[in-house]
Amino acid sequence: MRICIFCCNFVARIESITYNMQQQELIERKQYMQQLRSLKDQNVIKVISGVRRCGKSTLLMMFAEELIQSGVDRKQIQFYNFEDLDTLAIGDIYQIHTYIKERLVDDKPNYIFLDEIQNVAEFQRLVDSLYIKPNVDVYITGSNAYLLSGELATLLTGRYIEINILPLQFAEYYQFMLSKSPNLSKQDILANFIHYGGIPEYNKQLNISEKQADLFAQSVLKTIVEKDIFQRLNITNKHDFNKIIDFVFDSVGSYVSPRSISDTLRSNGTIIDKQTVAKYLDALCEAYLIYKVPRFEIKGKGLLQTLNKYYVVDPCFAKVRLKKAILKDRSHWLENMVYLELLRQNKEVFIGKRHNLEVDFVAIDCNDYTSYYQVAWTTENADTLERELASLKAIKDSTPKYLLTTDVDFNPVYDGIRKLNVIDWMLNNSMNN
């Protein structure tokens, strides 16, 4: 009986993909759509990962709709959302597997989309079994890094490729805001982006009050913490964990370590050992809520083991958590933005160290091409300019070096260091991707 009920819901879901796409105000994610197109029909499992509400499900629906528009019959597409109780009602992995298998179209490509698959017990075996079938192209999404840890990574070694989805990049946000308010300046849009962040659904609520929008962001953050961290890791000391979240969100752009966090909290009356702090930091990273960035010794070209920086996947979470205007710390949040932009360029990113000087970011691409970035809100003051340039000037090689600021001054060059307007840099990078 459950299967019959689900069958009706499933058919309705597939047939409504086009309708849903037409009804929604969608923000095109060109970079990710291009990646999916390039991987279509390739003999690998496509794993789409990322923080909750960053747009994973919508991206898959847009891709499914593109398949339909290109001539793929709806019967060749199966789309399952495993946060939907109707979908979960179909049963265990064996029943789900049977259900999917019975609906495969012979002698034609079949596109199987498994959304939030981590909610299915032993989903690894289900994914592997579908993968080995002929004419089956498998796409899965998940909201925590646990998806690719342990058994799944072992089982599917060499057989999957991960696409990590981030919230809207500035260029996507910029185009969306201009479509709503054509008279907004680049500077206004940048300020809004730092203030509100890039969660797609958060930004589509432009007609509601800031308070209502903040309630939405709070709800998303609560779901991430409760479902992707507390439930999975069986964390009971929620009070201490929340102290860690507040500490990290309030320390963007600053060096921290499990020991320094433990010592600071202890001085404020919260007793938590550094091992537990390290465990909680790992959990926040696995939920894609924060990103850990290690230090890199530029001269010796090796990683340093002590002190890291953490950046937040989207400023809206820090805004509603800390209950303060994060623009007051605009330089660090601009730094946060640049870090995420470098990640979107598929680069490994580190904090650079050269003697007693620091370079904000060392970015290394897949071809081992390295570039250095210093980030500052403004360097109009001569002393500030010299201080920001000092770290880059200390690197005596021909590696590309950039100073990114909000200043508008025709891209001057200082001893081979290019100063760029950060807004133009982000927009130009988007055009080149």
If pLDDT is split at 50, 70 and 90, which confidence band does 153 have?
low
For residue 288, give the amino acid letter.
Answer: Y
pLDDT category, 354, cuts 50, 70, 90?
confident
The average confidence (pLDDT) of the chain is 87
pLDDT of 175 above 60: yes
Q: Which two tokens stand for residue 41?
A: 């029909």
pLDDT for the residue numbered 9? 44
The better pLDDT of the pair 350, 124 is held by 350
Residue 428 has pLDDT above 60, yes or no: yes
For the stretch 363-378, pLDDT in tens is 999 999 999 999 999 9
Least confident of 40-44, 68-72, 143-147, 253-257: 143-147
| pTM for the whole structure | 0.89
Q: Which domains does the chain have, with CATH numbers?
A: 2-164 (3.40.50.300), 170-432 (no CATH)
pLDDT tens digits, 5-31? 344 444 445 554 544 554 456 787 999
Q: What is the pLDDT of residue 5?
A: 36
* DSSP one-letter code for 120: S
Helices 258-267 and 274-286: crossing angle in degrees, nearest 10, is 120
DSSP assigned state of 230:
I
Q: What is the mean pLDDT of residues 123-131?
A: 91
Which two structure tokens, joined as six digits, stand for 394?
A: 């200390």
d(CA 138, CA 160): 10
Across 61-67, average pLDDT: 94
Check residue 151 and give its pLDDT.
58
Evaluate if residue 128 carries a pLDDT over 80.
yes
Mean of pLDDT values over 110-132: 91
Q: Given a cut of 70, is residue 3 above it in pLDDT?
A: no
Q: What share of the chain is helix, strand, coil (3-state, %, to 5)?
A: 50, 20, 30
Kindly report, residue by residue over 232-249, the tens digit of the pLDDT. Answer: 888 989 999 999 999 999
Cα–Cα distances in angstroms (integers) from residue 293 to residues 289, 329, 396, in the given order: 13, 19, 24
Place 277 in a pLDDT band, splitting at 50, 70 and 90: very high
Helices marked H in 268-314: 274-286
Look at residue 23 in the predicted model and tell me its pLDDT: 47
Distance of alpha carbon 362 from the chain centroid: 19
What length does the chain have?
433
